[in-house]
Structure 1
Amino acid sequence: MSDEERPTDGGGGKSPLASRSFIAAAVTVGVIVAAGGVVTAINLTGNDTSAESGAIEPSGGPAEGTVGEEEYPEEATPGGVERSDGSESVCGLRSSEKDEFTGFPEDTSWGFVGMREAPSSRAHGPGVVEDNGFRHCYAKSPEGVVLAAMNYTAMTSDPSLYLDLLDLYAEGPGKEVLKAKVEEAGPSERVVGHIGGVRLLSYAADRARVDIALVIQGSPGGTVSYPMDFRWEDGDWKIVTRENGEMVIPVAALYSLDGYILPPAEVG
């Protein structure tokens, strides 16, 4: 796909987040059925959204394992301080001293995971691909956590993996909330779209925040920013949520891919 073909805001009109159906669809793309199809979609469509900015206010209390929001700026590494559980990669991938993501690794290959293309790297992960397509184990590196976020997002397009995806969440009350909702609701309807770009917002020791640009196809369509928080836990990157199971930073409308690292032109 060429840069000219990559959609951003779908036009110069009002925010796509003004549509309640788009809010639900966009969140479903970014999280497993519990957070996207049930919990978050219901909460977000009930919140006050801004048609001008597409902003959605966070809810549900502080993120698990982090200090209060008033103690660190939004752009800071989640958790505020560098700390690690000391674990090594469960599949033997090497860690890195880097703290920036400047591009996809040279050995990156791309393939469909569910309905979306996602990257793989022998050096950074996924180190394990199960027979059913479930992917896990990433290097403790900027590239590793970026690939973890992109592969997770791709796997949400495969309803058969909705229970497996629970293993990618950090331990805590939020994970238990998600587990209960997943078991109650079952898989959700798939949303057609692709990953338009990615950027690493923060990285330090055992914490990271990755922002995925999701391009939603169909009606109403549009592009959203979907930030994901991670912490290193038991030898792999795990998704951090608030205590109610929602993501730390909510989905928001995106009008430009400036600053995002785009997949190769042939991907998408």
Structure 2
Amino acid sequence: LLLTKAAIEEELYGCEQSIMTCKEALRIWKSEYEPILTNNVQNLQAISNSSGGNRPSSRSQNASINFETDVEQTVNSQQGTLKVEDGIKNLFLFGIRPFSAIINDENSLKYNRSSTYFFSIQPIYFSLIQIFEHLVRYYIKLDKIDEGERCLKEISSLSPLCHQMFYMRGLINDARGQLKLAKLNYNDALAINPYHFPTLIQLTKLLIQIGNYSLAEKYARDAISIQPSNYQPWYLLSLSMEARGEYEQSVDVGATAVHLEGDSPIVSYHSIIRVL
């Protein structure tokens, strides 16, 4: 709900207020899930001890992290205002492992064969990534690209292979004018999740910008098939048709976009997290 509130604030007050709401969402995330993740520490340690045998723990290979001590210190520390830059620096202390570590674990790999499946059973991960995804977009709109990139770096270690990470990398590179790299990022995101609507929209915009109208039309139609009541892909399809000289069809499609925009919610119903 706070992310929906942030989207409304973006329309009414601008992105600065939306960023404040996202920070509040981070504070709530920390207060809601910190106890759960802290309780999971002992379980993870027990699993590691029972299944690891004589295999050295990956945590022990990092001399800069004293797992048990840091957990105790973090849990017992006073609750303060959670800064964006503090976003996930303590995640691993509460039992969250990056997806790259999970796919290298035989037991985890047996039950988690893709990042899509992984996030479908891990709403804690997904909700955190959504918060940071909003922050990245708001910082980009404020032309604070470095701040957005810093948020991305903080969250990317959690699951570097999921489609949301490639999508956010694409946004950063797109904002920097590195269109070829952004296009590659968007394609990587769609290779993992071909139904990710925001990536389809951004890639269509980029393709129109570089003049690849036929491919832009293809991705616009893909987006329409996913969210037919959303005006954005219809509008982009109209632009691509107009650029190709299909003026009559472009007018009809554009009229559809205008009609849908009048009834379009600020936040798409498809993007609201379901109650789990």
TM-score when scaled to structure 2?
0.23
From the two aligned structures, give the one with the greater strand fraction: 1
Which structure has the greater CA radius of gyration? 2
Scaled by the length of structure 1, what TM-score is found? 0.23
Higher helix share: 2
